[in-house]
Amino acid sequence: MTSVVEAGYKMKSHSGAKKRWRSLASGSSFKRGKANHQHLNVSKPPARKNRLSTTAYSTAAQTHKLKKLLLPYGSN
């Protein structure tokens, strides 16, 4: 038996992180889209809209936290 079954419970994945982050193919880091790019774009300068459309990658500290605490059973 595995330790999870013996303990009688499973850790829950963090739902917010699960919806926002995706792992890279190498599994060494994560990526996400940036917020505030969906609506109310008329008043935003084009430079800001271009910046918001790019992909954000996790830092080393974020990657460590995402792997160990927020997504304990996988990251796909």
- Digit-by-digit pLDDT tens for the chain (76 residues) are 566 667 777 788 888 888 999 999 888 899 999 999 999 999 999 999 999 999 999 999 999 988 887 777 655 5
Tell me how far apart the alpha carbons of residues 76 and 64 are, in angstroms, rounded to a whole number: 16
Q: How far apart are CA 45 and CA 20, in angstroms?
A: 25
Q: Which two tokens stand for residue 12?
A: 């829950």
Q: What does the pLDDT read at residue 14?
A: 87
- What is the dihedral angle through the alpha carbons of 39, 42, 48, 51, rounded to the nearest 10 degrees? 50
> Please, what CATH class does the domain formed by 14-70 belong to?
few secondary structures
Tokens representing 35 are: 């917020």
Per-residue model confidence (pLDDT) at position 75 = 52
Query: First vs last Cα of the chain: how many Å apart?
Result: 25
Lookup result for tokens 């460590």: 64
